[in-house]
Amino acid sequence: MDFTVIARRTDGYSGDDLTNVCRDASFEGMRRKLAGKTREEIRNMPKDNFAKVPVTMRDFEEAIKRVQPSVSAVDIERHENWYLEFGSA
């Protein structure tokens, strides 16, 4: 998995936004396993079936499509100006 690509594609994402991307990506494999199954089929699936679903680059790409950044360019500029004037908090 290329985390550099993920980092480039999440410019403007806050730490909380990145947490949401990771959480969403972690559920993507489960969504694939459950797709097209009835409630009864899902109930009868072995529980350990879900613990062994690896997170892939595709999962992150799908999550990034759904989770939008909450930090605007204006917010970043304000932060950079604050840092230049006052330093770190």
Domain residue limits, the chain: 3-86
The torsion defined by the Cα of 9, 13, 16 and 21, in degrees rounded to 10, comes to: -20
pTM for the predicted model, two decimal places: 0.73
Q: What pLDDT is attached to residue 89?
A: 60
59, 30 contact by CB (below 8 A): no
Cα gap 75→65, rounded to integer Å: 22
pLDDT digits (tens, 9 = 90+) for 4-52: 999 999 988 999 999 999 999 999 988 888 899 999 998 998 888 777 7
We find that the CATH architecture of domain 3-86 is: Orthogonal Bundle (1.10)
Cα gap 43→37, rounded to integer Å: 10
Tokens describing residue 24: 């969403």
pLDDT at residue 76 greater than cutoff 90:
no
